[in-house]
Amino acid sequence: LLKSGAALERLAEVTHVVLDKTGVITAAAPELIDADPAAIARAAPLARASRHPLAKTLARAAGPGPAAEGAREAAGLGVEGLIDGRMARMGRAAYVGAEPAPEGALETELWFRIEGEAPIRFAFREQLRADAAAAIAGLKARGLSVEILSGDVPAAVEKIAAEVGITTWRASLTPQEKAAAIRALAETGKKTLMVGDGLNDAAALALAHASMAPGEAANISQNAADLVFTGDSLTATTFAVDVARAARQRALENFAFSALYNLVATPAAMLGLVNPLIAAIAMSSSSLVVTLNALRMTWVGGRR
């Protein structure tokens, strides 16, 4: 879904791709690992108030029920609200006042704490999107460099990066740090495509040369993105790049044809070498050629 009139033009110019991890490279529904049912039920009201993929998985595990009162989501940190009249928080370890998991832990984690009680850690096992590795290989084959910017713990990011063939990655980033990274890439001359889905990606999406978000992304991320792709396929990114590059090529070809046509036809008409009937036929033919050339876009990327 194309949201910006200039998006294809900017997308055709990108030289570097930045991907969020959770919900972009990995599926939007991670697997909750060995959680205590009582702990799930305790945290469920706050999980129902968040759109983060981990919180939504927790909410599904708990089943239907009320959401926490007065819930407020802090980008890149977590969500807080009232449960049974007491303040509760869910998100990063530091946000809830807990000690993070030991360095090297591979599970993606989500922490929950009610005021006056001990923090609870929920661990998740993330599954790659089925075509994630193929999509990233496709981006590289198109001459684009690829990296991951994630707010998750380093070990989990490193594991996913290795599985999909990405060697450059950064972890434990705040939304401000992600945005700063996009600015830094621009200052080095890179034109970046940012693909993200969460509240913590919105600023980076807005700053990137071009941006995409999955259809299940947070509203603020979809609003900040130039394109939104539906379905589960990450190869939508390579398809979008192919379409953008082909659109630019067709436009340049049509400009060249128009220039050539006018270079030949205008002097001929001025010298009286072309009668009105021939001129009308030539003018119509030139428009037809340009239109037919543009219609070649129908077959770009093998899709119709």
- Which residues have a catalytic role annotated? 20
DSSP summary character for residue 100 = P
Residue 185 contacts residue 18 (beta carbons within 8 Å): yes
Long-range contacts (CB closer than 8 Å, 24 or more residues apart) made by 247-252: 247/8, 247/9, 247/12, 247/297, 248/8, 248/9, 248/12, 250/293, 250/294, 250/296, 250/297
Distances (CA, A) of 221 to 56, 69, 95, 130, 207: 17, 24, 22, 23, 12
Environment class of 230 (CB within 10 Å of its CB; exposed 0-12, middle 13-18, buried 19+):
exposed
DSSP secondary structure code for residue 26 in this structure: B
Q: How far is residue 83's CA from residue 127's CA, in Å, rounded to a whole number?
A: 31
Tell me the residue length of the chain.
304
**Going by C-beta distance under 8 Å and a sequence separation of 6 or more, which residues neighbour residue 65?**
44, 45, 48
| Whole-number Å distance between alpha carbons of 204 and 211 | 9
